[in-house]
Amino acid sequence: MATIETTYRDALRLALTEAMREDDSVILIGEEVGVYGGAYGVTKAMIEEFGAHRVIDTPISEPAIVGAAVGAAMTGLRPVAELMYVDFVGMTMDQLANQAAKIRYMFGGQIGVPMVLRTQGGTGRSAGAQHSQSLEGYVMHTPGLRLAMPATVADAYHLLRQAMRQPDPVVFIEHKGLYTMKGEVDPDAPPAEWGRAAVLREGADLVIVSYSRQVHYALAAAERLASEGVEAAVVDLRTLNPLDFDTIRPMVEAAGRAMVVSEGVMTSGVAAELAARITEECFDFLEDPVLRVAGEDIPISVSPLLETNSVPTPDLIVDTVRKIGLGAAA
């Protein structure tokens, strides 16, 4: 297969479909993954090819969906469980954090839990406070869980394929605002290494570290900043666990300035962790405090105006850079 143009959604489906064709032990399990085809259409028609024993529609029982995936993963299957919204992760937290994440360690390395929990989060559909959150911080806070958050069509395919080959549980958080995004992917091309960040734009003045949809906002902001004479690099982390600090460190040391951009809320969030690490590891090179641009510490509103401004926007990123004396205001 050569390079194809497709959508984030279809790239995800391609990854799942190819994995299921290659390996009979791969199953999908979750609410509406089968007959309905997934709440966002990712698994559309897959039940027709693979049957109801491999594309398993469940009752609305998130804890047991994850718990069953844990048990299946321990006994020979490769489950890809789906949590329709990441907002429901609290329902599953025992199975995820106390079971999946700890089984290898508690049992002295006897066995792992090779499962993927696919879910999606983020704002953009006026879905309200319980269907719009970015809860990756909960996952990143739990040792034992891998965490992947694709920003591009190519990563929707390749990161998901890689996630399904991991020996440890992976939480794979898609962004609901990206499903219809178009892009290119070559399924046969060797993918970027799992756990390695991607430098999507070089820039000598500032390094913007982000992931998921905010990568696109950071790129848009960097374009505008360039017109103001500021060269901002943009790094897409791709996975938050593993976290690729080796890519970030020399870039920040060279630029002397760093910004982290995350849709998750500010306090005790992913952005806080990234900012702390950059500060610790690059302290001697920093000319300004690490800029933390993150979700406001509030619930998400249905009002599109309030919703849009509850999380970072390209405007906010640009304005923040100006506040340290770079760009138009300088």
Partner 1 sequence: MATSMTAPRPNTRLYDFYREMRRVRTFEERVGELFVRGQSAGSMLHLSIGEESAAVGVGAAMQAGDTFTTHHRGHGIFLARGAEPDRMMAEIAGKESGYCGGKGGSMHIADMSLGHLGANAIVGGGIPAVVGAGLSARNLGTGTVSVAFFGDGATGQGILYESLNMAALWQLPCLFVCINNQYGMGTRIDRATANPNLHERAAAFGLSARTVDGLSVEDVADAAEEMIADARAGRPGFLAIDCYRFFGHARKDKSPYRADGEEAAGRQKDPVSAARTKLIVSGLASVEALDALDKEIDAEMDGAIDFAVAGTEPPMAAMFRDVYAPGEPEPEPVSARLSRVLARD
Interface residue list for partner 1 (CB under 8 A)? 24-25, 27, 29, 53-54, 56, 58-59, 61, 63-64, 66-77, 79, 94-95, 98-99, 102-112, 143-144, 146, 166-168, 242, 280-281, 283-284
Q: CB 306 → partner 1: shortest distance, Å?
A: 34
- Between the CA atoms of 308, 309, 312 and 314, what dihedral angle is there, to the nearest 10 degrees? 80
Q: CB 317 → partner 1: shortest distance, Å?
A: 27
Q: Tally helices (H) and strands (E) across the chain.
A: 12, 14
Max Cα-Cα span within the chain:
62
**Computed from CA positions of residues 11, 12, 15, 20, in that sequence, does the dihedral angle turn out positive or negative?**
negative
Q: CB 74 → partner 1: shortest distance, Å?
A: 6
Query: Cis peptide before 187, with omega less than 30 degrees from 0?
Result: no
The structure tokens listed for 51 are 């049957």
d(CA 199, CA 155): 13
60 versus 298: smaller Cβ distance to partner 1: 60
Q: CB 140 → partner 1: shortest distance, Å?
A: 13
- Which of 256, 250, 314, 251 is CA-nearest to residue 289? 256
d(CA 263, CA 121): 10
Does the annotation count 131 as an active-site position? yes
Q: CB 30 → partner 1: shortest distance, Å?
A: 12
Query: Given 131, 158, 175, 216, which residue is catalytic?
Result: 131
Q: CB 167 → partner 1: shortest distance, Å?
A: 4
Report whether 186 contacts 48 (CB < 8 A): no
- Which of 151, 201, 155, 200 is CA-nearest to residue 177? 151
Residues in Cβ contact with 7 at an 8 Å cutoff, skipping those fewer than 6 apart: 153, 179, 180, 181, 182, 183
C-alpha pair distances (Å), 88 with each of 78, 91, 138, 163, 186 = 22, 5, 12, 21, 33
Q: How many CA atoms lie within 13 A of 310 on its CB side?
A: 22
The b-or-e profile of 122-142 (16+ CB within 10 A means b, else e) is bbbeebeeebbbbbbbbbbeb
76 versus 190: smaller Cβ distance to partner 1: 76
276 versus 302: smaller Cβ distance to partner 1: 276
Q: CB 77 → partner 1: shortest distance, Å?
A: 5
29 versus 185: smaller Cβ distance to partner 1: 29
- Which of 259, 264, 276 is CA-nearest to residue 318? 259
Active site residues per annotation: 131
